[in-house]
Structure 1
């Protein structure tokens, strides 16, 4: 049995996760809306398709692939930032909110993309980055000039004559500090991420209304919503008190991210944002929920609070990291704990609000390398199994580009291969501490290095996988001759075509969207089994997360009506015992 790896957070078992309601009428059906029923496809523009040969993906590249995107059956495209930016953090450092990054194209290109998507029945969601800007944004340039500049209070400044400010973390800095000294005005400014990303002062109403005006500008242009980057961090205690580890342990579960997500006026600002912007449009709003806990999640997404539509948590993707090491994975992460996390979070939204489900994105390793098995023998089976999980759980699924063909981690051998600001900063920390740099690189091959999930899309077997005619900004994965869209498109049982089939199954069966979720045999070490129930519809989902045969006894199988999907050709059933092959995924319709 796999051993259980403790997480940063303590999880409490949902006491009824193995019980189904005695009366089907007890099942609560949430109000229906398009963003609950959508499958969201995330595109990292820099890596999707390059049309001008500069090695960087662009908007015209996305336009050229709209037929492919539509063929997936998805409903919404979430674009990572494409705003004007000097690109210190791949666009998450914005210098102009109403412009397009030159590498990506022009506003005319964007307008053509939006029009083309809407003509195909697709919706477009933008990445909203408003906790911070670039240090090259005009607001910050003005803010730096003098202490009495009108833009000074657009950011958080601490005068040096008061001494060094109390520690705050800076995620992308080698020294770990979130304060940067600026000699021009003899003061420190706050940056929770890179020093190139100074934090905005949301306590200033002028800042808030600048942001709301910008959001309204994009929504009037016709976009369909926002994914909100680190939105729980926008509110700060501007007295910047000293925070000790004891304070963190007592009040914030021992975690800095929970502290940073607990600003005194956070929900005032989100309610104001809803009133000034979101409530005026039929749009979706997603909080990147760093620091969000099960106990606080509904504060963001309970419909009665009039804040946001949904948020996503980090508990699932944090599973299995070894404490004290930068995103180093223990390969023996526990499926029992995995099931507990997702069952507990489903329970949060059982009666109110709405959740999300994801296993990969631009900040994570590739889904099949992290949660499945990317060896040639099992890559396809485990990728299909993970897709089955994502598209059969309650909550809006977010699916990352390339995962639909089973793209894998890059397994880079040198720090020179990386472009990600976070990985490079962590490498420098290890170097400064005299640590084992080679071991750090080995850890990133399977762990959390963000560039694992950012390698260029593998379209075909031509040079650079058909991504670019130039030199790609980040190396193409070496396995592109075996893993690419062209070959999978023409193979009926490919990962790609399985994804399309699973999307179709979800759309044709509201039980997979709105149905109640019930975990079965929580302690089974290999198999994740659960039912989905909506009125007279009931489905049984069985997922073998292991690389060996495994079996499970379930009385539910005795009422099996039919097999709806299976990533193998058959399934072995003996009375009430189901024998599953390695990484087998099956969905049954049951009475």
Structure 2
């Protein structure tokens, strides 16, 4: 692997679609595969390189697809395998890639594997899930918690045992210490690889292995009640166990037996632990998801330190990646404010590494207020009142100013944002000053400039409140300046002149800059500096 010939997942841009909310083709209020297929022209116009679909497998929908009852089919709500094949063919015909969400940590309790496992203690799949006898007092075997609130253990009358579930009780955890489970799950992945998918985003991959001695998790010394009771304990013995890397190595071996397939791992861990998931010498996850831009305070100095720290921690074979939004976190325009959304876009699309866009962020969609009677998310239902629910960031894509924002002809499964008549694709495609236009211009510039897509990263000294860094490829040097402040900032260019390639905000007319430049409030600039000989 060389940067002279980067692989598609290194130079490309991934676009996440939450299928229920992207486009409905049949009027039932739920997005589907035919709907996605009908909007591929838009994604091609935008310029993204790969589409990642959140789960589309058969499911009782206790957690909207993250409770899988069959790993090798399509839920009828979304369509059929024929619909999937047609979508995949259309994606590939446009020169794009398709990445599937894969959910290996847990299945639905309606999956035939679990139905057999719970039947008795001596059936062929009795050890395919995590079962334990009750504690001496009849209660749960230990103190492990569910990430959706309450105990992580549920008692099953048939087996007279508890089973462990890191999330809902309808999502029992598979026993990845069982080699039969490993083989079976690898076969589920192979099914889709043979069908032609280009990779997987692997859900909660750091959860796969649990402590073999079932030790109690320690108390969290930094626990705050407003974070939710599920944060009361540290997940020391339920996540990030050393043996998980053995499992990932097997997944990687399977992927490497095909051409240019890739794996993204969902991992919420500190950087020092995160980078271990690249494996030794490239036998781990291709891209362990880096969520720092979602989790960190929106401050220039904090982000500069985080980027520099991450770059320094990466192993030689590790390719970086960045994420600003997803289906589990509040919309970036709601987290940072609309005035910061433009420099957020410039940050995501100019840092070194693979960026992932979340549908709707490119038009500035915001969280939608969900009334109690409209709540769908089981997380919010289990832990109400703390604002942890994920419905606000999962609302329908806003395509135009017609009813339901052009998403459905029926009743939408979640309400459409009240601003959809002005915040939508159709309006913003025609507006040269829109945030959608900015995203498209950034993507086009990234494609033209190797310095942005695969070039080196170097920090650049700037005043407080301004984030600056260089992207370099050969003699080409691009300077990115992002003003986080509501006031103008003067930036010394160290006696270097250059040309402004792109501003995050409309109204910037001058192109040439000399020894310094002025950044307007909340403005970002990309400047091509005068070329010099590379040392």
Same fold (TM > 0.5): yes
The DSSP-based 3-state class of the residue aligned with 2:420 is: helix
The DSSP-based 3-state class of the residue aligned with 2:71 is: strand
Aligned-partner Cα distance in 2 for 1:71–1:161:
59
Aligned to 2:489: 551
- The correspondence of residues 476-495 of structure 1 with structure 2, limited to 5 A, is 476-495=416-435
The DSSP-based 3-state class of the residue aligned with 1:84 is: coil
TM-score in terms of structure 2 length: 0.91
Report Cα offsets for 1:28-85 as digits up to 9, x if no partner: 9687211100101111100000011110000000011111111111110000000010
CA apart distance, 1:537: 1.2
Aligned to 1:325: none
Equivalent in 239, 244, 248 of residue 270 of structure 1: 248
Q: 1:316 to 1:243 in 2, by over 3 A?
A: same
Aligned to 1:23: none
Q: 1:181 to 1:30 in 2, by over 3 A?
A: farther
Aligned-partner Cα distance in 2 for 1:280–1:386:
35
Equivalent in 322, 335, 344 of residue 357 of structure 1: 322
**Quick check: 1:248–1:259 contact (8 Å CA) kept in 2?**
no
Aligned-partner Cα distance in 2 for 1:77–1:289:
20
Aligned-partner Cα distance in 2 for 1:318–1:258:
20
**Quick check: 1:461–1:480 contact (8 Å CA) kept in 2?**
yes
2:248 matched to 1:308? no
2:472 matched to 1:533? yes
Aligned-partner Cα distance in 1 for 2:206–2:424:
37
Aligned-partner Cα distance in 2 for 1:93–1:511:
41
The DSSP-based 3-state class of the residue aligned with 2:373 is: helix
- The correspondence of residues 244-323 of structure 1 with structure 2, limited to 5 A, is 244-245=218-219, 256-257=234-235, 259-291=237-269, 293-302=270-279, 304-320=281-297
- The correspondence of residues 32-181 of structure 1 with structure 2, limited to 5 A, is 32-160=6-134, 163=138, 164-173=140-149, 175=150, 177-181=151-155
Which runs of no fewer than 5 residues in structure 1 stay unpaired? Answer: 1-27, 321-332, 428-436
CA apart distance, 1:273: 1.9
Aligned-partner Cα distance in 1 for 2:209–2:382:
26
Count, aligned residues? 518
Q: 1:531 to 1:479 in 2, by over 3 A?
A: same
Report Cα offsets for 1:71-106 as digits up to 9, x if no partner: 111110000000010101110110001111111111
The DSSP-based 3-state class of the residue aligned with 1:517 is: strand
CA apart distance, 1:478: 0.5
Aligned to 2:522: 583
The DSSP-based 3-state class of the residue aligned with 2:346 is: helix
CA apart distance, 1:257: 4.5
Q: 1:315 to 1:74 in 2, by over 3 A?
A: closer
Aligned-partner Cα distance in 2 for 1:193–1:554:
51
Aligned-partner Cα distance in 1 for 2:18–2:422:
22
The DSSP-based 3-state class of the residue aligned with 2:41 is: helix
TM-score in terms of structure 1 length: 0.83
Q: 1:277 to 1:351 in 2, by over 3 A?
A: closer
Aligned-partner Cα distance in 1 for 2:211–2:93:
46
Equivalent in 440, 444, 463 of residue 504 of structure 1: 444
Equivalent in 498, 515, 519 of residue 455 of structure 2: 515
Q: 1:491 to 1:334 in 2, by over 3 A?
A: closer
- The correspondence of residues 406-417 of structure 1 with structure 2, limited to 5 A, is 406-412=364-370, 414-417=371-374
**Quick check: 1:527–1:552 contact (8 Å CA) kept in 2?**
no
Aligned-partner Cα distance in 1 for 2:250–2:260:
17
CA apart distance, 1:302: 4.7
Aligned-partner Cα distance in 2 for 1:499–1:350:
30
**Quick check: 2:267–2:288 contact (8 Å CA) kept in 1?**
yes
The DSSP-based 3-state class of the residue aligned with 1:108 is: helix
Which runs of no fewer than 5 residues in structure 2 stay unpaired? Answer: 224-230, 531-535
**Quick check: 2:496–2:514 contact (8 Å CA) kept in 1?**
no
Q: 1:346 to 1:571 in 2, by over 3 A?
A: farther
CA apart distance, 1:170: 0.3
Aligned-partner Cα distance in 2 for 1:134–1:165:
22
Aligned-partner Cα distance in 1 for 2:375–2:521:
33
The DSSP-based 3-state class of the residue aligned with 1:209 is: helix
- The correspondence of residues 194-273 of structure 1 with structure 2, limited to 5 A, is 194-245=168-219, 256-257=234-235, 259-273=237-251
Aligned-partner Cα distance in 2 for 1:582–1:388:
15
Report Cα offsets for 1:525-563 as digits up to 9, x if no partner: 4221111122211111111223x123143234x323211
**Quick check: 2:491–2:519 contact (8 Å CA) kept in 1?**
no
Q: Which has the higher contact order (CA 8 A, sep 6+)?
A: 1
**Quick check: 1:517–1:531 contact (8 Å CA) kept in 2?**
yes
The DSSP-based 3-state class of the residue aligned with 2:166 is: coil
Report Cα offsets for 1:304-355 as digits up to 9, x if no partner: 14122111133332224xxxxxxxxxxxx54322332233112223733012
Q: Please state which structure has a larger fraction of its residues in helix.
A: 1
**Quick check: 1:182–1:188 contact (8 Å CA) kept in 2?**
yes
Aligned to 1:329: none
**Quick check: 1:219–1:281 contact (8 Å CA) kept in 2?**
no
**Quick check: 1:30–1:352 contact (8 Å CA) kept in 2?**
no
Aligned to 2:497: 560
**Quick check: 1:60–1:109 contact (8 Å CA) kept in 2?**
yes
Q: State the Cα RMSD in Å.
A: 2.4
